[in-house]
């Protein structure tokens, strides 16, 4: 029990360090859905995989590419989003802060 917990904590620490290292290496890295903020917003790189139990506001057809906060150009695979400074989100992604572009 104790050793399982230790292994788990070590792997969490290692994952975090790797994520930080790769963020530093690539300024425009894609948001990792497992990042704390991404997870709390329910971000997924593929909108169809949105957790509809946790985020029932998701409706089919919603995606970053049609969100008012998305800053990528039409046709771009990824673009910036002010909620995730320094990273890019997938045009096909989604999070619970989605607001339809007017």
Residues making contact with ligand SF4 (CB under 6 A): 43, 64, 67, 69-70, 81, 83, 89, 93-95, 97-98
- C-alpha–C-alpha distance, residues 91 and 97, integer Å: 14
Would you state the structure tokens that stand for residue 5, as one six-digit string?
Answer: 């917990």
Q: Which is nearer to ligand SF4, 19 or 76 (CB)?
A: 76
Closest distance of CB 43 from ligand SF4, Å:
5
Q: Which is nearer to ligand SF4, 5 or 54 (CB)?
A: 54
Closest distance of CB 53 from ligand SF4, Å:
18
Q: Which residues, at least 6 apart from 85, have a Cβ–Cβ distance to it below 8 Å? A: none
Q: Which is nearer to ligand SF4, 11 or 37 (CB)?
A: 37
Residue located via tokens 């990792």:
32
> Biggest alpha carbon distance in the chain?
53
């Amino acid at each position: 029990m104790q050793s399982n917990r230790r292994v788990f904590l070590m792997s969490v620490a290692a994952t975090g360090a790797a994520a930080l290292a790769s963020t530093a290496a690539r300024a425009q890295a894609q948001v990792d859905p497992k990042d704390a903020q991404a997870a709390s917003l329910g971000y997924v790189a593929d909108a169809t995989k949105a957790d509809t139990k946790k985020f029932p506001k998701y409706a089919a057809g919603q995606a970053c590419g049609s969100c008012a906060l998305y800053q990528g150009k039409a046709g771009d695979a990824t673009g910036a989003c002010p909620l995730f400074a320094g990273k890019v989100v997938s045009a096909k992604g989604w999070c619970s802060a989605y607001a339809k572009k007017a």
